[in-house]
Amino acid sequence: MAKSSADDEELRRACEAGIEGTKQSIVMSIRVAKSRGVWGKSGKLGRQMAKPRVLALSVKSKGQRKKAFLRVMKYSSGGVLEPAKMYKLKHLSKVEVITNDPSGCTFTLGFDNLRSQSVAPPQWTMRNTDDRNRLLVCILNICKDVLGRLPKVVGIDIVEMALWAKDNTPVVTTQRSTEDGEPVTETVTESDLKVTVEKELVSQAEEEDMEALLGTYVMGIGEAEAFSERLKRELQALEAANVHAILESEPLVDEVLNGLEAATNIVDDMDEWLGIFNIKLRHMREDIESIETRNNKLEMQSVNNKALIEELDKVIERLRVPSEYAASLTGGSFDEADMLQNIEACEWLAKALRGLEVPNLDPIYANMRAVREKRAELEKLKATFVRRASEFLRNYFASLVDFMISDKSYFSQRGQLKRPDHADLRYKCRTYARLLQHLKGLDKNCLGPLRKAYCSSLNLLLRREAREFANELRASTKVSRNPTVWLEGSTGSSQNANTDTSAVSDAYAKMLTIFIPLLVDESSFFAHFMCFEVPALAPPGGAGNDNKNQSNNDDGNDDDDLGIMDIDETDKKTGKTSPDLTALNESLQDLLDGIQEDFYAVVDWAYKIDPLRCISMHGITERYLSGQKADAAGFVRLLLGDLESRVSMQFSRVFVDEACHQIERNERNVRQMGVLPYIPRFAALATRMEQYIQGQSRDLVDQAYTKFVSIMFVTLEKIAQQDPKYADILLLENYAAFQNSLYDLANVVPTLAKFYHQASEAYEQACTRHISMIIYYQFERLFQFAKKIEDFMYTITPEEIPFQLGLSKMELRKMLKSSLSGVDKSIAAMYKKLQKNLASEELLPSLWDKCKKEFLDKYESFVQLVAKVYPSENVPGVTEMRGLLASM
């Protein structure tokens, strides 16, 4: 038989190492297999995969007290035992051996302090019953010894356990040494070695008491016949006693039977009565149910009738037309004092009409005859009121405007400019603003004729105000006209060109300052007053009035204006123009149409006085246009755009084109010398134009510069070609004059700087051609000889050139003698020729310096050629020639 693991000392030491530091001592350690059963089915061994474990019993002493523990040890990945769980034996309540395990080696331990009693306790399986009994006996002994009680034992007889423990107590041989050092062998039982299990399950005294108790009852089982006779006698005696008792109780039985019969009769009578009562109660119950049903129906009918009456009262209240409202709608006055009552009547009518519509009215009522008749009556009231109100408002608008037009104090008069003031007009119109809103709610179609009537009336007033203001503005502005011919004629014809004409542009600015904000305000008021469904309107006020407002408005979104967008502007999400926005822009066209003619008249008048003032007016218009993008109505923006186009057209197509024609007429004149007259006059014109630039008019002026200068340069080239002999002199003098006259402006105007550089390049080219012509005229043989040498240098070596025809040393000496014998006279003649045809004396020093430098460069090239081809010939050096030129 294999050795039990309970006797494995290595296992015990491994367990002690696993609980080292807990101050506990191992009493027993044994290997087991752990598995899980099914809760509530302890008889069925439904174990899963068994896991190897070690159960160790340990005790811990603390003074006289002892504590006992059951430790579950498991193997780590390295094969070392380590604690898994610990149970206190004082909580052990049951030890149950699984009966369905044929081997009897499986048991469970029940503890009363487990947190979850719904989880089946683990099952422990031993190798054999001896290991099981050994462990269980040790547990029971510890419980009895330490705790003073035994747990409940199920599935095994505790007496058999005691007998097994008595028969299987192992004998252990130990050795000890005497005082002399000799070993002595002693034999003791294992129970003597363990201080915790030194007592048996049943003591000797208890066993003696049980034997004495059993000895007191002598059954005499050894004498079988005597025992059988004894039993027969006792049975007969018992039967006789039973019969006697029965016979003695017969009268009592009769009395009981009589009583039972009487009780039966009474019960039968009671049953009959109860049947009768049951029938009566059933009939009564049916009657009560019938009464309750009729009562419930009557109660439900009463509730329904009450609700119906309430609903009918509400419907009647809806259908009732208050007499005061009916009077206001059909024949009331539209005076200012009665407007509050008219508004209340409109509000009631709109509410009543909405109340008779299906969403607000139960569909059941919608087709009732009374509802249909009342709806028709309300529609008739609505049509009557809308017709009366529309007719009144059309007449009211016309009367307001007629009254203002008939009063001349509202308009500008001779000697007095009058700023249009529509505050009183708007105040009177606002009285009927809520009325218009209610009219729109009642009938949208009625607003179209009202809007046309308002636009037609107010258009007359605005055009009259603009015409009177423009006429008085032109009459009150006193300024002399500037000449329109700038680039043609004698110098004295432009002596009045510096006349101050700023009053012209100031008058134009005043026209815009007064009327642009007025038109914007009128557009905004019209959109509000006539109930157009457009985005929220920005507060009115022109950005062109001052720079501060302009800077503030420039940051805004161009489309987030008064809600009155451009006529061609569309909805960004749908790509379609809003119908209400289209109607608004069409109405604004009717409201403001025709007023642009008075602005055009001011522009034309200003152009006739001073065409250059178009530059200032263009800047002013552009400033207003950019400023009004933040809050201008669509038509006002179109008006400003048309004004800008007209100013640009007057300046570009009329003034600039006429000036270009004046420049072109110069080429038809007879031969001209010196600086052409339009060159300095253009400088004066450009200076004046720069003074008039405001805001965004730079592009307009730059375009004029480009056209002017292009025509000037083309005309200059054509005039120069008429006399090729003096073409270069004419070109260099005029290009130099152009640079001198525009030097200051070119430093600040990029467009003129571009033409300045173009003139500079043309000047240098003309100088180079003219100087080369003068040099070749005086030293023609010298430089022709050098040209021949250069031509031969490409084909033959320098040593072969002296042997060519016309290039011998003798020819060289003749040429030098004829060209350089009187070189000082030739240079003086060259200076006189340069001076002879030059009209601008201030250009002579710079031209003479260029001429000397060009001559020295050519002569130096000639000396280098001679030194290379004729090394033995002596030629005057470059230094000598430079000294000669410097001395002259």
Q: Which pairs from 272-280 meet CB under 8 Å and 24+ separation?
A: none
Helix axes 447-476, 502-529, angle to 10 degrees: 170
Contact 483, 496 (CB under 8 A): yes
Helix axes 129-142, 158-167, angle to 10 degrees: 100
The Cα 434–Cα 319 span in angstroms is: 25
> pLDDT by residue (tens digit) across 553-589?
333 333 333 333 443 444 444 445 566 677 787 878 7
> pLDDT by residue (tens digit) across 146-157?
888 888 888 887
Grade residue 203 by pLDDT with cuts at 50, 70 and 90.
Answer: low
**pLDDT at 106 > cutoff 80:** yes
**pLDDT at 753 > cutoff 80:** yes
pLDDT of residue 374: 77
What length does the chain have? 888
The Cα 393–Cα 426 span in angstroms is: 14
> pLDDT by residue (tens digit) across 57-75?
999 888 778 889 999 988 8
Q: Which of 99, 93, 107 is nearest to 33 (CA)?
A: 107
**pLDDT at 643 > cutoff 70:** yes
**pLDDT: is 692 or 452 the higher one?**
452
As to burial, measured by CB atoms within 10 angstroms (0-12 exposed, 13-18 middle, 19+ buried), residue 564 is buried
pLDDT of residue 386: 82
Mean residue pLDDT of the chain comes to: 75
**pLDDT at 174 > cutoff 70:** no
The Cα 587–Cα 581 span in angstroms is: 10
Q: Which of 527, 519, 516 is nearest to 587 (CA)?
A: 527
**pLDDT at 478 > cutoff 70:** yes
pLDDT of residue 281: 92
Residue 626 DSSP code: H
Grade residue 721 by pLDDT with cuts at 50, 70 and 90.
Answer: confident
pLDDT of residue 170: 59
> pLDDT by residue (tens digit) across 392-409?
888 888 888 888 887 766
Highest mean predicted confidence (pLDDT) among 298-302, 345-349, 579-583: 298-302
Judged by average pLDDT, the poorest of 302-306, 465-469, 581-585 is 581-585
pLDDT of residue 695: 64
Grade residue 631 by pLDDT with cuts at 50, 70 and 90.
Answer: very low
β-pairing, 92-97 vs 152-154, is: parallel
Torsion angles phi and psi, residue 172, rounded to 5: -115, 130
As to burial, measured by CB atoms within 10 angstroms (0-12 exposed, 13-18 middle, 19+ buried), residue 535 is middle
> pLDDT by residue (tens digit) across 651-680?
777 677 777 777 777 666 555 677 777 788
The Cα 808–Cα 814 span in angstroms is: 10
pLDDT of residue 427: 86
**pLDDT at 492 > cutoff 70:** no
Highest mean predicted confidence (pLDDT) among 88-92, 183-187, 252-256, 287-291: 287-291
pLDDT of residue 317: 67
pLDDT of residue 279: 92
The Cα 186–Cα 176 span in angstroms is: 8
